[in-house]
Amino acid sequence: MAEMKAVVVGAGMMGPGIAITLALGGIETRLSDLTAELAEAGLSQAHQLLEQLRSNELIDPGAAASAQPLLSSTTDLEGSIRSAEIVIEAIKEDLGIKQELFRRMDQIADRETLLATNTSGLSVTAIAAKSHRFPERILSAHFWFPPHLLPLVEVVMTDRTGEAQAERALKILRQCGKAPVLVRKDRPGMLGNRLQHALIREAIYIVEEGIASAEDVDLAAMTGFGLRMPAYGIFEHADNVGLRLVKAIQDSVTPDLCRETQAGALLNEKVERGDVGAAAGRGFLDWRVRSMDAVKSRRDAFLIDFLRRQRKSAPGS
């Protein structure tokens, strides 16, 4: 559907991956940033990601060839938005800057244009607070990182988002090969991060209580429940083992789980010491003897292999 047009605002970490996702869905996509240099750098990165997908057999050569001419860069945000059917914002996580951008876009865009934020942590309602013209077309399209590989996109509605507009966003994302989920209430953490941070909170608590080391917590996640989750969901598992068993385990385990309503003592201690992660050399793990680049390479290789196998096993492949 080359007649459909989109704009991705922000050519940094997330923008290029989002842009090629839209282009692979047959949507003419312009990647916008404040300067031509930033926009061109983002476009170059998008083409590199497209080649990664092609060379790893995640898309057909024909799909890559069709997507390439649909991608372009621009600094003319206003002109691009006027002709777009969907705009996805992927700028830095600053509420004031996002609010001003959405206020401006709300004034520019046609009434039918969907305005979506890729925010991972800010309230979509707060981002839309200064946009009064057509608030029903503002929502989130939160792509998970890396966006060109991970299928999940969270479409989050505010209390003013229209049902029809949310359905349009879901349809566009499915057209682009993504697995969108609809989040009907704008709550902290959306859907995925609520699950993820409940897990992180308990993982930190396990280390803090001396139940297991950080290394063994990671190993348990990667070789146990985490390994089966791509093919076996939380509620699928619960229904499979039976809800009587789930209730019995919940009654036994939940009283001993972490109940902190904010970051726990161990995490606070590490942040105060400056042990804030790989960039500092130490977090929960010692990155002076580990390589984060190696971890990222392992992650991407696993995702690529999984997605390649999934694609080859799909009906009609």
Domain extent for 95 = 5-183
Does residue 170 sit in the same domain as residue 120? yes
- How many domains does the chain contain in total? 2
Of the three residues 153, 183, 213, the one that is the final residue of a domain is 183
Does residue 171 sit in the same domain as residue 125? yes
Question: Which residues, 6+ apart, have CB-to-CB distance to 176 below 8 Å?
Answer: 21, 22, 24, 25, 27
Q: Which CATH number does the domain housing residue 142 bear?
A: 3.40.50.720
Does residue 58 sit in the same domain as residue 140? yes
One-letter amino acid at 39 equals A
Q: For residue 252, is it within any domain? A: yes
Angle at 155 between CA 195 and CA 9, to 5 degrees: 115
Does residue 167 sit in the same domain as residue 228? no
Of the three residues 183, 209, 240, the one that is the final residue of a domain is 183
Confidence at residue 204, expressed as pLDDT on a 0 to 100 scale: 98
Q: For residue 301, is it within any domain? A: no
Confidence at residue 172, expressed as pLDDT on a 0 to 100 scale: 98
Confidence at residue 317, expressed as pLDDT on a 0 to 100 scale: 63
**Token pair of 225 as six digits:** 């429940």
Q: Answer whether 92's CB lies under 8 Å from 12's CB.
A: yes
Give CA 149 to chain center in angstroms: 10
Does residue 67 sit in the same domain as residue 197? no
Confidence at residue 154, expressed as pLDDT on a 0 to 100 scale: 98
Confidence at residue 3, expressed as pLDDT on a 0 to 100 scale: 82
Please state, in angstroms and rounded to a whole number, the distance separating the CA atoms of residues 105 and 97: 12
Please state, in angstroms and rounded to a whole number, the distance separating the CA atoms of residues 179 and 21: 12
pTM (global) more than 0.75: yes
One-letter amino acid at 314 equals A
Does residue 169 sit in the same domain as residue 200? no
One-letter amino acid at 201 equals R
**Token pair of 109 as six digits:** 């865009």
User: Tens digit of pLDDT for each residue in 2-13?
Assistant: 489 999 999 999
Give me the residues of the chain with pLDDT under 70, please. 1-2, 317
Please state, in angstroms and rounded to a whole number, the distance separating the CA atoms of residues 243 and 236: 11
Confidence at residue 58, expressed as pLDDT on a 0 to 100 scale: 95
